[in-house]
Amino acid sequence: MELQMNNGNSIPQLGLGVYKVAQDEAVQLMSEAIEVGYRRIDTAALYGNETEVGQGIRESGIDRSEVFVTTKIWNDRQGYDESIRAINDSLGRLDLEYIDLLLIHWPCPAKDLYLETWKAFEKVYEQGLVKNIGVSNFQPNHLERLVVSADIKPVVNQVELHPFFQQNEVRAANEKHGVLTEAWSPLARAGHNKNDVLVRISETLGKTVSQVIIRWHIQTGNLVIPKTVHKSRLIENFDVFDFELSETEMISIASLDSGLRLGPNPDELN
């Protein structure tokens, strides 16, 4: 299942996140994920595994054009010249000729460099080194400011989003600008798998709680990138296209939104 971005390109809706995947696990994990059917990998310079992600994709034997690879520029590499260098560093580590989607990892408002960084993103986009450019952890005011000054709109805003932190304001701001919302920590890091509402729905449908949550993201229209290093869970998390949540089940999950932020507040991180 693919979604269309505001530049006309498409992106697989479900992918694999690789934050905290160790270097010595990442190469093998790429082959396993591709074998299961994943066609999108979400890494970042911060995760320290770009080299192994690139190697694993090459060694899997899949055609480069069949896999969609996202990476992100870390906070200490913002600014025009520095982010050009950082992008080249990521390209060198991935060794995949081009990056499918490049994100500014965090806005870091106190640094106030994200507009400059975006100019570098537009440059590498025009050069074809990066096929799509977007942002991560942008609050509505950051996105608004970026869109006003940008020549090229971001295609994606990747933010923390799960049933306990549904980010309705951020989603509305993204939608207003034609930006797809991507959910990080989409399973809330598997910390709420005993939640009564989710367990009840999972028992009714004969699906696991993780599958119910991933299906909720899909029906909500989010891009979704659950992380796992286990083959059985790669299979489980990908097996979400043969059932649907009813309107009542979607409403029950909507009621779980409780403002539970697991990660940093983007206004405060620098």
Ligand X SMILES: NC(=O)c1ccc[n+]([C@@H]2O[C@H](COP(=O)([O-])OP(=O)(O)OC[C@H]3O[C@@H](n4cnc5c(N)ncnc54)[C@H](OP(=O)(O)O)[C@@H]3O)[C@@H](O)[C@H]2O)c1
Closest residue to ligand X in the complex (CB): 17
User: Per rule CB under 6 A, is residue 42 in the interface with ligand X?
Assistant: yes
Number of residues this chain uses to bind ligand X (CB under 6 A)? 26
30 and 59 Cβ atoms separated by less than 8 Å: yes
- Whether 47 is catalytic is yes
Neighbours of 96 (CB within 10 A): 19
Sites for ligand X among residues 146-185 (CB under 6 A): 158, 184-185
The span from the CA of 121 to the CA of 153, in Å, is 11
Q: Of the candidates 99, 173, 187, 253, which one interacts with ligand X according to CB under 6 A?
A: 187
Letters for 54-93 (x = contact with ligand X by CB under 6 A, - = none) are ----------------------------------------
**Toward ligand X, which CB reaches closer, 60 or 202?**
202
41 and 62 Cβ atoms separated by less than 8 Å: no
Piece of the chain touching ligand X by CB under 6 A; list 110-118, 224-232, 239-247, 250-258: 224-232
The span from the CA of 217 to the CA of 6, in Å, is 20
183 and 226 Cβ atoms separated by less than 8 Å: no
19, 38, 47, 125: which one is catalytic?
Answer: 47
Q: Of the candidates 125, 237, 252, 256, which one interacts with ligand X according to CB under 6 A?
A: 237
User: Per rule CB under 6 A, is residue 12 in the interface with ligand X?
Assistant: no
Three-point CA angle 12, 168, 4, nearest 5°: 25
The span from the CA of 188 to the CA of 178, in Å, is 26
Q: Of the candidates 12, 107, 163, 226, which one interacts with ligand X according to CB under 6 A?
A: 226
The span from the CA of 170 to the CA of 167, in Å, is 5
User: Per rule CB under 6 A, is residue 229 in the interface with ligand X?
Assistant: yes
Give the helix/strand (H/E) hosting 176: helix 168-176
Q: Of the candidates 60, 157, 210, 252, which one interacts with ligand X according to CB under 6 A?
A: 210
Residue entry with tokens 């396993």? 32
User: Per rule CB under 6 A, is residue 17 in the interface with ligand X?
Assistant: yes
DSSP β-ladder status, 2-4 and 10-12: antiparallel
95 and 52 Cβ atoms separated by less than 8 Å: no
User: Per rule CB under 6 A, is residue 19 in the interface with ligand X?
Assistant: yes
Q: Of the candidates 30, 87, 124, 225, which one interacts with ligand X according to CB under 6 A?
A: 225
- Binding residues (CB under 6 A) for ligand X: these are 17-19, 42, 105, 136-137, 158, 184-190, 210, 225-230, 233, 236-237, 263
Q: Which residues are catalytic?
A: 47
